[in-house]
Copies of this chain bind each other. A is one copy, B any other.
Amino acid sequence: MEALQTTERTRVRRLPQRAAYDRDTIYAILDTAFVCHVGIVDSGHAVVIPTAYARVGDAVVLHGSTKNRILTAIIDGAEACLTVTHVDGFVMARSAFHHSINYRSVVLYGRGEAIVGEQAKDAALAAFMERIHPGRWNAVRPPTAQELKATAVVRIPIVEASAKLRTGGPIDDPEDLALDVWAGVIPLALTRGTPIRDAGA
């Protein structure tokens, strides 16, 4: 897929060799997480809130209560900075200085648009759930008109975005390689445990 055009703020300046601007890389990062951190400016202050998201086509979809402060602000025109981060490992170097973290992140800037109307909301929420829990939408009770009314759904097109990644082992100074210190990577991953069935009423 094509690369996104960089802008002044999406061009990665620090360690540019870690940057990527192609949709393949960006979508791969977005499609394997489901919680992002959304920042907006509220009365001049930055506010950063975690929320679930899903990539649907060339956009990221968010949803929540119509009373949700961040969603309301985005619907009212506030620009968002939406950041997704996978933490992949502790990088243990032989010096304190070269310790690092392996990660894959995407930073997306954009304004959103509300998805309105029962059918459009329902379809967007179905696509959202299909991304996170494939096949489940058809198994559960679908949203009622009332529930759809209480839900704000927002899409932010993926136009201005960049990815940044660190992979691999520590990059030690040559003179440190002989030190008697364990060095390497401790992999990290968000893993699923054994499902816990709900007892019901």
Contact = CB atoms under 8 A, between A and B. Distances in A.
Contacts of A87: 35, 190
Interface in A169-201: 169-170, 172, 174, 176-177, 179, 181-201
Interface residues of A, number: 87
Contacts of A49: 83, 107
A44 B177 CA distance: 45
A157 B45 CA distance: 17
Contact of A191 (B90, B182, B189): B189
What is the total number of copies of this protein in its complex? 2
Contact of A41 (B45, B125, B170): B45
Contacts of A92: 133, 136, 195, 198
A113 B179 CA distance: 35
A65 interface: yes
A197 B185 CA distance: 7
A96 B45 contact: no
Contact of A52 (B101, B139, B140, B172): B101
Nearest to A88: B193
Most B-side CB within 10 Å, residue of A34, A92, A189, A199: A92
Interface of A: 9, 13-14, 34-35, 37-42, 44-50, 52, 65, 67-69, 79-83, 85, 87, 89-90, 92-97, 99, 101, 103, 105, 107, 109, 125-126, 129, 132-133, 136-137, 139-144, 147, 151, 169-170, 172, 174, 176-177, 179, 181-201
